[in-house]
Structure 1
Amino acid sequence: MRFDLSSWTAVQPGSDAETYLPSTPETVLWGRLPCADDEPVLSVASGAVVTVDTLSHEGLLPDQGQDPLAFFAREGVPPQLVLEDAVRIAAERVHDEADGPHVVTGPIAVRGARPGDLLRIDVLELEPRVPYGVVSNRHGRGALPGEYPEGPDAVSVFAAVEERDDGWAGVLPRRAGSDAVARFPLAPFLGIMGVAVAGRARPHSVPPGAHGGNIDVKLLVEGTALLLPVQVDDALAYVGDPHFAQGDGEVALTAMEASLRATLRFSVVPRSQALEAYGVVTGPLVVTPEYLVPTGLSEDLDEAVQHAVRAAIELLHARFGMDRSNALAYLSAATDFDISQVVDLVKGVHAKIRIADFDA
């Protein structure tokens, strides 16, 4: 089917924000994450607000032709709704098939950050740059490798954005070529937010780790924050993998991948304050208005759950003074442990600890 996109305008590169970081061939990595040896593309003070144009990799990849104009034209997208920065990166950068798919913008030096501190990234605003996205199943991956894709080729399903009275919705055809659709609410977030790792080797962009990276925690919408243990001086933060919507698990392989203009605040939490507020944080920690959300990561899903439980126990012990046995009992009675994703080589689990339970 063809979606009517005529009323939309793309958010092309360029912004009057006080601090703005575009995605250009000079400011992105494609399929790798920054390491200590990388030079920052931007340097800011702690507490700075930065507007970043992030790019989805869909339509840029070699198995899709590495030509966004042609790829999206097949779905009825006019040239003015294809992002100019996506076209430029696809034309000027070479993608190594051994690397991940993600276009990662950065690194951003946050001056004064040191190992032992936490970097806090507050998500202030996420603006869709285009009125469409793509959900892909490729490379024999996803939750059902060997079963899907059903043929030898990658499957990329085009989904449009529809504006409704109760907010934006994604619209996806029920069958190829069908006018019947499924509609689902959008909740944009960045799948990748992270800090550089120590050493001289750039990590692959797919597996997440203590540095954050491709954590794919869908709770990281506007009004939330991500805390990460700093690995190198000045943190060298980065963002990417923008999503319009994702179900927990991300079972096809990708979410509804689509480019976002992200406005973020980068703040250093000194080690002493971090220990008092959160204890020893060894991996990504999400903070929302309702929840504290420690995470667990492992190639084995059972082990990821165990890591998340241990992180939650230590957080409750440090922040609320719970003894560890009572913390485990509380978690069993009151906390959901959700699967973030099962498709990024290293699987993710996150625990939603209700802050209101400790108000009394």
Structure 2
Amino acid sequence: MLETGTGPIDGAVYVPASARTVRWGRLPCADTPPVAEIPSGGTVTLDTVSHEGILEDQGRDPVAFFGAYGVRPDGVLRDARELAASAVPRDPVRDGPHVVTGPVRVASARPGDVLRVETLSLRRRAPYGIVSTRHGRGALPGEFAAKEPEFTFCRAEDGTGRIAYGAGREARFPLAPFLGLTGVATAGGEPAHSVPPGRHGGNLDIKHLVTGSTLYLPVQVDGAGFYAGDPHYAQGNGEVALTALEAPLRATFRLTVLRDAAAHLLRRPFAETRAHWIPVGLHEDLGEAMRDAVRAALDFLRERHGMDGHAAYAYLSAAADFEVSQVVDRVQGVHCLIRKSDFPS
């Protein structure tokens, strides 16, 4: 267990998850005061809390909820217990479920810049998590629309997730932690809902944003207002049941302001790993999200590599992979994987 303030803290600035530093169900906007400040190129460690186990339809009592699965009271994170018992505002009808840590002000960031978000480390804070299906949502709401939510408890130890089924049997799968929700504050004074992603990033749910990945976000307000939440231990592309394996993480980022010519080509969220560039498409309709991802990939190949449109279109058809990020967040997501090894350095 990684309780508040214990264990490794990899960043120069540390932000625990508390009633002072989190928002619940809404994202930071221009009027949201920062909980910390760092210079461009600085590092920050954020503790994140999973919403699973503390929501109203789970009794808002994580000790009782996880106790039903055999977790001892001292096996439930203290900040999750405190948040569930706190008066942090959340309208369960109007607001999203996510607990969001931040915002962090990056001193020199201005609208028109791009914030480069490098994920330096992601440390699991608990040895278990939850996958949930609820509220008639997910890829098959007509077939899995139970009157009561369904919660699947998963053990998560030694880099492996375990879902028990049948008599003494379990499915095992590799863990690959990432933050489902990373973003920058939106302009104006109205906090955005935490569920749909957008130009601000937010709930992108791109499973490739693991340790060593980089996300680029167009800055919309002075200071950028960076935040993170919706921690996952593993997710399949599509996130079809509604949630991934939801569980708390301690995340460390390097945040750098970019304002050179190349940065100004980044007008939407864009990611990369050691092996791939990852253009992103977003839309309420999955088909339109796919087309948006293709256009984003074409723009990248034309602007970054100087390919003409027909050559870029042919390359994408021959060699790139388009994956469904998620189909459950109101705004659907599709991302494209372009291998870096296919192009001259």
Give the TM-score, by structure 2 length: 0.96
Tell me the equivalent position of 2:90: 95
Asked if the contact 2:52/2:130 (under 8 Å) is kept, the reply is yes
Inter-partner Cα distance in structure 2 for 1:179 and 1:334: 42
Asked if the contact 2:128/2:157 (under 8 Å) is kept, the reply is no
Asked if the contact 1:52/1:262 (under 8 Å) is kept, the reply is yes
Asked if the contact 1:297/1:347 (under 8 Å) is kept, the reply is yes
Inter-partner Cα distance in structure 1 for 2:245 and 2:331: 20
Q: Which of 111, 117, 136 is residue 115 of structure 1 equivalent to?
A: 111
Q: Tell me, yes or no, if structure 1 residue 200 matches structure 2 residue 196.
A: no
Tell me the equivalent position of 2:70: 76
Counterpart secondary structure, 1:304: helix
Inter-partner Cα distance in structure 2 for 1:35 and 1:94: 16
Deviations 1:301-322 (A, max 9, x none): 1100111111111111111111
Q: How much has 1:146 moved relative to structure 2?
A: 2.4
Tell me the equivalent position of 1:351: 336
Question: What is the aligned-residue RMSD (CA, Å)?
Answer: 1.2
Tell me the equivalent position of 1:136: 132
Inter-partner Cα distance in structure 1 for 2:261 and 2:107: 18
In the TM superposition, 1:188-337 aligns within 5 A as 188-275=177-264, 280-337=265-322
Counterpart secondary structure, 1:232: coil
Tell me the equivalent position of 2:21: 27
Tell me the equivalent position of 2:323: 338
Q: How much has 1:329 moved relative to structure 2?
A: 1.1
Q: Which of 146, 153, 158 is residue 153 of structure 2 equivalent to?
A: 158
Q: Tell me, yes or no, if structure 1 residue 170 matches structure 2 residue 165.
A: no
Tell me the equivalent position of 1:67: 61
Q: How much has 1:286 moved relative to structure 2?
A: 0.8
Inter-partner Cα distance in structure 2 for 1:271 and 1:39: 28
Inter-partner Cα distance in structure 1 for 2:299 and 2:83: 43
Asked if the contact 1:62/1:95 (under 8 Å) is kept, the reply is no
Asked if the contact 1:133/1:160 (under 8 Å) is kept, the reply is yes
Inter-partner Cα distance in structure 2 for 1:117 and 1:326: 30
Structure 1: gaps spanning 5 or more residues = 1-9
In structure 2, what residue type is equivalent to 1:135?
A: V
Q: Tell me, yes or no, if structure 1 residue 105 matches structure 2 residue 101.
A: yes
Deviations 1:32-86 (A, max 9, x none): 0011111111111011111111111000100000011111111101112100000
Asked if the contact 1:294/1:352 (under 8 Å) is kept, the reply is yes
- After the TM superposition, which of the residue ranges 87-96 and 242-251 deviates more from structure 2? 87-96
Q: How much has 1:335 moved relative to structure 2?
A: 0.3
Counterpart secondary structure, 1:348: strand
Q: How much has 1:283 moved relative to structure 2?
A: 1.8
Inter-partner Cα distance in structure 1 for 2:307 and 2:77: 50
Inter-partner Cα distance in structure 1 for 2:59 and 2:65: 7
Counterpart secondary structure, 1:272: coil
Q: How much has 1:273 moved relative to structure 2?
A: 3.9
Q: How much has 1:243 moved relative to structure 2?
A: 0.2
Tell me the equivalent position of 1:146: 142
Structure 2: gaps spanning 5 or more residues = none
Asked if the contact 1:116/1:271 (under 8 Å) is kept, the reply is no
Inter-partner Cα distance in structure 2 for 1:330 and 1:295: 17
Counterpart secondary structure, 2:64: helix
Tell me the equivalent position of 1:3: none
Asked if the contact 1:195/1:237 (under 8 Å) is kept, the reply is yes
In structure 2, what residue type is equivalent to 1:294?
A: P
In structure 1, what residue type is equivalent to 2:334?
A: V
Asked if the contact 1:113/1:230 (under 8 Å) is kept, the reply is yes
Q: How much has 1:271 moved relative to structure 2?
A: 4.2
Counterpart secondary structure, 2:105: strand
Tell me the equivalent position of 2:3: 12
Q: State the percentage of identical aligned residues.
A: 55
In structure 1, what residue type is equivalent to 2:85?
A: A
Q: How much has 1:117 moved relative to structure 2?
A: 1.1
In structure 1, what residue type is equivalent to 2:68?
A: R
Give the TM-score, by structure 1 length: 0.92
Q: How much has 1:95 moved relative to structure 2?
A: 2.9
1:136–1:301: structure 2 CA closer, same or farther, 3 Å change rule? same
Q: How much has 1:284 moved relative to structure 2?
A: 1.2
Asked if the contact 1:19/1:51 (under 8 Å) is kept, the reply is yes
Q: Size of the alignment, in residue pairs?
A: 340
Deviations 1:116-157 (A, max 9, x none): 1110110111110000000000010001112214x3100010
Tell me the equivalent position of 2:34: 40
